[in-house]
Copies of this chain bind each other. A is one copy, B any other.
Amino acid sequence: MKAEILSTGDEIRTGALVDSNTALIAECLERQGVTVTRHQSVGDALEALTDVIVEISRRADLAVVTGGLGPTVDDRTMEAAARAAGVELILDAGALADMEQFFKKLGRPCSPSNRKQALVPQGGTCLPNPIGTAPGVRLSVHGCTFFFMPGVPAEMRRMLDEQVLPQIRAMQGRHRRFCLLRTISTFGLPESVVGEKVAAITERFPEITLGLRAKFPEIQVKLYLRTQDEPAGQKILAAADEWVTGILGGHVFSHNERPMAEEVGRLLLARNATLALAESCTGGLVANWITNAPGSSGYFLFSGVTYHNTAKIKVLGVSPQTLQEKGAVSEETARQMAEGARRVGDATYGLAITGIAGPDGGSDEKPVGTVCMALAAADGTIVKRHCFGFGQRLMNKRMFAMTALNMLRLKLTTASGPVQ
């Protein structure tokens, strides 16, 4: 089954808005075994909309369209669909009743412009929209089945999950193919090296298609498998995941797209351990990532974002002499910061980062990208120095933060064996 995706609206056409709906729809369709052959975007002009609907109907079996179902004069997708199919727009009594109910709950009147949203091309079927006013519509145009949905991402997503994907599954019937996906997140190797190391997967597992994706600063290994037998496919994927993990070893940190900070949190929680941070150049980024996870108060206690040396001295107890003799970016300062954070926060682990994110502040001896980090624990403190060659401040902040979290992850997984 061949599908196309169409997004509509002048905001998308002119680039004022990045269209994120299309990638999500494409991923869902492909996973379900539908091949997406083309995406398109046009504006709100009636003629352009009508033309593109007719064109798609000639090429595809299935089309998913977003946008242009709103109450304003700009919203003309239904009118274009009716023209393309050569039918009239008629008032859908059920859709109107749902809409009146929706406004009643909000305590607001249903205006004539809202009523327009219950106009549906003859032969079309409404798709309920429980969280908005515009219903979706399913309509056959010259033998191609179109699903029209609102452009508001939350409304679109719910309608896709609850209405469109199940209806497509029913169309696929027994011939349905699954496109299964496993994502293995890695850190610490360049994309080209990861690619070379796992290249032999296609010989070992010929059913699998390999994809690599750089999601800076991590590299994701994606394993795709198309099959009609889902349980058998999942078994192959699990074996392939094990094979990849065996080869990449400690560089693999997650098998389910869980972010590094959340994975570290999971490991801390499993060990009943707590964390305090001391951040200089990362400026709170590590603490922010850590606290993005719900429940992080169960293991995260404190971060001293000590940008200025005075704060390093007063809050973390770093020695003024060390700062003067070795500098703020030095192994010795990192060590004292980590030990200070651990002591002040009363935590199992103290993790510290001090470096030069740029664009200024570098020197011949310590160029932009230089970073020192330390991990303090009951059994002592580990200290590392790195120098990364990215020119950009925000890339450096991310790279420093991930490297420090990875240092803690490796400590947690090797110190007392991996916890699942």
Q: What residues of chain A have their CB less than 8 Å away from a CB belonging to chain B?
A: 11-20, 22-30, 36-43, 48, 52, 211, 213, 222, 276-277, 279, 281-288, 290-292, 294-297, 300-308, 310-311, 314-315, 344-346, 358-361, 393-394, 397
User: A381 CB to closest chain B CB, in angstroms?
Assistant: 20
CB-defined A-B contacts under 8 Å, sample of 18? A13-B36, A15-B26, A15-B29, A37-B48, A39-B40, A39-B41, A40-B40, A276-B311, A282-B288, A282-B291, A284-B285, A284-B286, A284-B287, A288-B288, A296-B307, A297-B307, A302-B307, A305-B305
User: A173 CB to closest chain B CB, in angstroms?
Assistant: 23
A283 engages B294 (CB within 8 Å):
no
A284 engages B308 (CB within 8 Å):
no
| Complex contacts, A297 vs chain B, CB 8 Å | 307-308, 361
A311 engages B344 (CB within 8 Å):
yes
**Which of B15, B23, B300, B310 interacts with A18 by CB under 8 Å?**
B23
| Complex contacts, A27 vs chain B, CB 8 Å | 14-16
Using CB atoms, name the residue of chain B closest to A37. Answer: B48
User: A295 CB to closest chain B CB, in angstroms?
Assistant: 7
A294 engages B14 (CB within 8 Å):
no
Given A48-B37, A304-B315, A344-B314, A26-B14 contact (CB < 8 Å): yes
B360 engages A292 (CB within 8 Å):
no
User: A301 CB to closest chain B CB, in angstroms?
Assistant: 4
Question: Chain A contact residues: over half helix, strand or loop, or mixed?
Answer: mixed
Using CB atoms, name the residue of chain B closest to A179. Answer: B14
Q: A284 to B302, alpha carbons, bound, how many Å? A: 10
| Complex contacts, A397 vs chain B, CB 8 Å | 291-292
Q: A300 to B281, alpha carbons, bound, how many Å? A: 12
Q: A287 to B393, alpha carbons, bound, how many Å? A: 15
Given A16-B222, A284-B287, A292-B394, A38-B42 contact (CB < 8 Å): yes
Supplied contacts A284-B284, A284-B305, 12 more A-B pairs, CB within 8 Å: A13-B38, A14-B36, A282-B291, A283-B291, A284-B285, A284-B287, A285-B288, A292-B394, A295-B360, A301-B311, A304-B315, A315-B344
A287 engages B295 (CB within 8 Å):
no
Given A283-B287, A311-B301, A344-B311, A213-B11 contact (CB < 8 Å): yes
**Which of B22, B41, B276, B288 interacts with A284 by CB under 8 Å?**
B288
Given A292-B283, A292-B393, A15-B22 contact (CB < 8 Å): yes
Given A222-B16, A302-B306, A302-B308, A296-B314 contact (CB < 8 Å): no
Given A27-B16, A40-B40, A283-B290, A301-B295 contact (CB < 8 Å): no
| Complex contacts, A38 vs chain B, CB 8 Å | 13, 40-42, 48, 52
| Complex contacts, A17 vs chain B, CB 8 Å | 23, 213
| Complex contacts, A18 vs chain B, CB 8 Å | 18, 20, 23
User: A84 CB to closest chain B CB, in angstroms?
Assistant: 16
